[in-house]
Structure 1
Amino acid sequence: MKTALITGASSGIGTAFAQELAMRQINLILVARSQNKLYQLAEKLQHQVPIKVDVIVQDLTEQQAAKKVYDTITEKGLNVDFLVNNAGVGDYGAFTQRELSRQAEMIQLNIVALVELTYLFLSEMQQRGTGNIINVASIAGFQPLPYLSVYAATKAFVLSFSEALWAENKGRNINILALCPGPTDSNFFEAADFPDSFTNKNNGSLTSAKEVVKDALKALENRKSNTVPGGLSNQFIVNSSRFLPRELLINVIEKKFRG
């Protein structure tokens, strides 16, 4: 049986990936810092389907966290066939009014841990001549977002990084995908400290995490470099910079996100 490593598996898109891959009879390695949630999810999935689920409790904002995860998996003698770099965090507000430490943690989690995990496991996939990697970016990666400046910049990095690796590895039987969801039914808005007014206004347009995952796996099977789930509204957002002057677009976004 194949094995999938999923970071940020304790909620939202990460949990949806775990549920869908379990249904496909793929063994799981679940990583997050929420110990209780991880073990509850692992127990539930193992009761539903005959798979093996390993749990690694690790805060990926810590230095060398990715290497600790890799070493733990190596010690268990496991090979990772699917890597889902889903762990990530946002932070809403004007840049200088938010804690610098929070911004640094965001870069560590959204970029550094993702790059390190990709490096470690992609190297093994290249040696075996097969593998799959999904890096969760965002529609925020297609243009700057005032009041989410660092978050959007990290997702622009993930998008560019993943598409470059897709091109490098497409002849090696290794599929690499940048998953770029829009607003999704998860705890993102609460964790990023969005105002209630903004969250309530956007609740009706949220895409389900399950839909995001199904779109991602279909795009991976079709060897796409990126995919944007969520319908025409998200397609309009990611393509708007092709038709509107950048300063005009950023001004419009600033008014929408000002809160």
Structure 2
Amino acid sequence: MPRPDYPSQTVIITGASSGIGASFARALAARGANLILVARRRDRLEALASELERAHGVTVTPIALDLTSPTAGAELKAAVLAAGCTPTSLINNAGFGTFGEFQDEDPARLADEIAVDVSALVQLSSAFLPTLVAGGGFLINVASMAAYTPTPRMAVYGAAKAFVLSFTESLWAELRGSGVTAFALSPGATSTEFNAVVGTDDATAGARMRTPEQVVATALAHLERRSPGPSVIDGRSNRVAALVGRLASRRSIVTLMHRLTGPTRRRTATSAPA
């Protein structure tokens, strides 16, 4: 697979108002790609769009959209068409987590978490895949290190990210030979608004933080490989942890994760999707 011709690409990035999404936007704009930025916060999107257009001379289209909508895929596709854009690549980065004992969580909040982390990602992948194939672009779905282990007190988040990992690796196999490069990106603890949205630093269990720029550099280096694999983990220590998780028993891993996330840590927290 040849290195992407970035100036020929128009890339949708969800969750683009901050963190990893904004870092993807800056890195891709610097490579000459046009962008479609998607998040709830229109003011942040418009500020970032202006910054990137001035700095790199690319076209950046901000679209404010709440991805908890049950018709998020159709809504975004309509908005993109109305803006006169033809996307060739998609980065499903939007997501959020909750922290607390499952029995204490707000069911409506958990439904929103599943809507953003799972349903919207599947809908957008389905809605835009034909144009990605036509444009010979790429599909990057952001999973998490939580995809590799059961995650007590973040049970829904971990399960959602395990879905993203499995779903995307399956797409990687289906899309071989189509001209589309698809893979899952799994960051570990990263210096973003994730903990602020979750409501506690306990969600990352005191892990050493990577930066959004490091995560994006890992993703783009993988994308530019001759034959990118179905998934990539950011950070050497995270790759080692994933390997250890595969070698240890499920009982041992879930017991360890339960210890890391409690019991002295806060049991509940409020959150809202990015």
The normalised TM-score by structure 2 is 0.89
Range with greater deviation from structure 2 (59-68 or 11-20): 59-68
CA deviation after TM superposition for structure 1 residue 189, in Å: 1.0
Give the structure 2 partner of residue 201 of structure 1.
206
How many residues get paired?
A: 254
Which of structures 1 and 2 has the larger relative contact order (alpha carbons within 8 angstroms, sep 6+)?
A: 2
Change (3 A) 1:62 1:143: same
Report whether the alignment pairs 1:73 with 2:92.
no
1:52 aligns with 2:78: no
Return the alpha-carbon distance in structure 2 between the equivalents of residues 68 and 243 of structure 1. Answer: 43
Name the Cα RMSD after superposition. 1.4
Residue 42 of structure 1 contacts residue 53 of structure 1 at CA under 8 Å; is this kept in 2? yes
Is the Cα contact below 8 Å between 1:134 and 1:177 reproduced in 2? Answer: yes
1:200 CA drift (Å) = 8.8
* Residue 225 (structure 1) aligned to one of 213, 220, 230: 230
Query: Does the CA-based 8 Å contact 2:147-2:163 persist in structure 1?
Result: yes
Q: Which runs of 5+ in 1 are unaligned?
A: none
Q: 1:244 and 1:130 mapped to 2: Cα distance?
A: 40
Q: 3-state DSSP class of the match of 1:186?
A: coil
Tell me which residue corresponds to 2:252. Answer: 248
Higher helix share: 1
CA separation of 1:70 and 1:191: change in aligned 2, threshold 3 A: same
| Correspondence for 1:188 | 194
Contact 1:129 1:172 in 2 (8 A): no
Contact 2:189 2:204 in 1 (8 A): no
1:160-182 CA-partner distances (Å, limit 9, x unpaired): 00000000011111100100000
Shift of 1:211: 0.8
Task: Return the match for 1:157 from 139, 156, 163.
Answer: 163
Give the superposition deviation at 1:224: 1.9
Correspondence for 1:114: 121
Please state how far the C-alpha of 1:63 moved relative to its aligned partner: 1.9
> In the aligned structure 2, how far is the partner of 1:65 from the partner of 1:140?
25
Which structure 2 residue ranges, 5 or more long, are not aligned? 1-7, 266-274
Shift of 1:123: 2.1
Greater mean deviation of Cα atoms: 217-226 or 173-182:
217-226
CA drift at 1:73: 1.0
Q: How far apart are residue 199 of structure 1 and its match? A: 6.2
Q: Distance in 1 between matches of 2:143 and 2:197?
A: 17
Counterparts of 1:77 and 1:38 in 2: how far apart (Å)? 18
Please name the residue that 2:144 is paired with: 138
Tell me how far 1:242 sits from its aligned partner: 2.2
**Whole-Å separation in 1 of the counterparts to 2:44 and 2:54:** 16
TM-score (norm 1): 0.94
Against the structure 1 CA distance between its residues 55 and 197, is the aligned structure 2 distance closer, same or farther, given a 3 Å change threshold? closer
Identity rate of aligned residues, in percent? 37
Please say if residues 90 and 188 of structure 1, whose CA atoms lie closer than 8 Å, have aligned partners that are also in contact: yes
Residues 125-165 of structure 1 show CA distances to partners (whole Å, capped at 9, x for unaligned) of 23x26120000000100111000000000000000000000
